[in-house]
């Protein structure tokens, strides 16, 4: 008996550090599995694609969960988030078992209601008091009409099959949208920028009072490998030393870790140059935001 194929977009949202990236990477199976677009165009930023016998899960990144921005940035980000979540088929709201903070609560008004939002309770492996789980889940379920709750450990790969099953049930019937073999130049550049951004947030995300943007300004391939220049755009002079760290230690680490990931992604040698530019007030100028790709 043949089973219909299902394909759809899945957003993973949650406050920083709940394990979104770990979950996405574990589900997708490798650090990066981007993909060329087969037919449909999409406004989503594709994080990665998991294709199985009967389903294709397209995981999308939802920008804008750094809620410390003010002004135009915040308004634009809320719009971006609301729109992005309205467009996807399933939303995974990831929380950390036993923990609930203002950062988690802030997302509630942005989550779609109805059958598409699942509560994913991650890090169950680290929960000391397993008996507290029921009360914890009940409390959160009362705050939003989630379609289901799935406890998982992204790190240990526990209950992920169950999670994918819950997601699969909610994907619309349709052909695969992505060809998971080929890499497009555009998506690769985008991921390269995201890799740098990810390292920045890992290392100094808590210290940077405003966001920063990474722009790939140079991309030259030759037989030795690929030369990439990545520019980190920050809002103020004072953000530069935060990014640099003592003796440039932070920048060295950001560049080195991003380069290693890029080499894995591209499967060739990468010569990566990372530098910082200050663009004053950019987070409050919608024009500048657009120019930097936040349309
Ligand atoms: P994100 O900010 O939501 O993308 O979170 P990350 O994926 O970067 O994870 C934040 C931290 O939580 C990292 O140190 C992860 O190793 C850790 N982490 C993620 N998932 C789990 C899990 O299932 N169990 C445990 N114990 N730690 C986890
Ligand atoms: Mg992350
Ligand atoms: K991410």
Rg over CA atoms, the chain: 20
Task: Tell me, in angstroms, the distance from the centre of ligand 3 to residue 30's CA.
Answer: 14
For ligand 1, whether the C-beta of 158 sits within 6 Å is: no
For the whole model, what pTM was predicted?
0.64
Using one digit for the tens of pLDDT, what is the confidence trace for 124-144? 999 988 889 999 999 999 999
Does ligand 1 come within 6 angstroms of the Cβ of 21? Answer: yes
Q: Are strands 55-61 and 117-122 parallel, antiparallel or unpaired?
A: unpaired
Query: Which residue has its alpha carbon closest to ligand 1 atom 6?
Result: 19
In this prediction, does ipTM exceed 0.90?
Answer: yes
The angle, 0 to 180 degrees and rounded to 10, between the axes of the packed helices 160-168 and 20-28 is 80
Strand, coil or helix: what is 243? Answer: helix
pLDDT at residue 51 in the model = 85
- With contact defined as beta carbons under 8 Å apart, do 278 and 236 qualify? yes
C-alpha torsion 195→290→28→121, nearest 10: 100
Q: How many helices (H) and strands (E) does the chain have?
A: 9, 11
d(C-alpha 85, C-alpha 61), whole Å: 10
Binding residues for GTP: 14-21, 61-65, 122-125
The confidence score (pLDDT) of residue 35 equals 41
What is the mean pLDDT of each successive set of 10 residues along the chain, which is 295 residues long?
86 90 80 40 63 88 55 68 85 96 90 93 93 94 96 95 97 85 62 86 79 85 90 90 94 95 85 91 56 50
**Which ligand does the CA of 153 lie closest to?**
1
Domains detected in the chain: 6-179 (3.40.50.300), 185-291 (3.30.300.20)
Ligand 3 centroid–CA 61 distance in Å is: 6
Q: How far is the CA of 17 from the centre of ligand 2 (A)?
A: 7
**Listed residues: CB within 5 A of ion ligand 2:** 20-21
| Nearest atom, ligand 1, residue 94 CA | 3
The reported pLDDT for the residue numbered 268 is 84
Q: What is the position in ligand 1's atom list of the atom closest to the CA of 18?
A: 3
Sheet with 55-61, strands from edge to edge, namely: 45-51, 55-61, 6-13, 90-96, 117-122, 148-151
For residues 211 and 69, is the Cβ–Cβ distance under 8 A?
yes
What pLDDT is attached to residue 32?
47
């Amino acid at each position: 008996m043949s089973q219909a194929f299902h394909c759809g977009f899945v957003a993973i949202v949650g406050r920083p550090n709940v394990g979104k990236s770990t979950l996405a990477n574990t589900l997708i199976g490798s650090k990066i599995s981007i993909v060329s677009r087969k037919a449909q165009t999409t406004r989503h930023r594709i994080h990665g694609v998991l294709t199985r016998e009967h389903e294709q899960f397209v995981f999308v990144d939802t920008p804008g969960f750094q809620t410390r921005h003010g002004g135009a940035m915040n308004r634009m980000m809320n719009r971006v988030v609301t729109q992005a979540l309205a467009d996807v088929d399933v939303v995974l709201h990831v929380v950390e078992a036993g923990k609930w903070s203002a950062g988690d609560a802030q997302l509630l008004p942005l989550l779609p209601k109805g059958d598409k939002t699942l509560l994913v309770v991650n890090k169950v492996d680290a929960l000391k008091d397993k008996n507290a789980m029921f009360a914890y889940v009940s409390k959160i379920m009362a705050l939003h009409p989630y379609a289901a709750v799935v406890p998982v450990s992204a790190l240990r790969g526990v209950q992920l099959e169950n999670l994918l099953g819950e997601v699969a049930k909610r994907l619309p019937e349709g052909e695969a949208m992505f060809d998971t073999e080929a890499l497009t130049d555009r998506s690769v550049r985008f991921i390269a920028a995201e890799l740098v951004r990810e390292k920045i947030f890992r290392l100094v995300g808590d210290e940077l009072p405003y966001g920063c943007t990474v722009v790939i300004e140079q991309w030259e391939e030759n037989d030795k490998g690929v030369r990439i220049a990545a520019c980190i755009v920050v809002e103020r002079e004072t953000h530069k030393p935060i990014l640099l760290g003592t003796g440039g230690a932070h920048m060295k680490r950001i560049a080195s870790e991003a380069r290693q990931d890029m080499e894995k992604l591209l499967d060739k040698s990468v010569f990566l140059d990372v530098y910082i530019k200050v663009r004053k007030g950019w987070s409050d100028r919608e024009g500048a935001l657009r120019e930097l790709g936040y349309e």
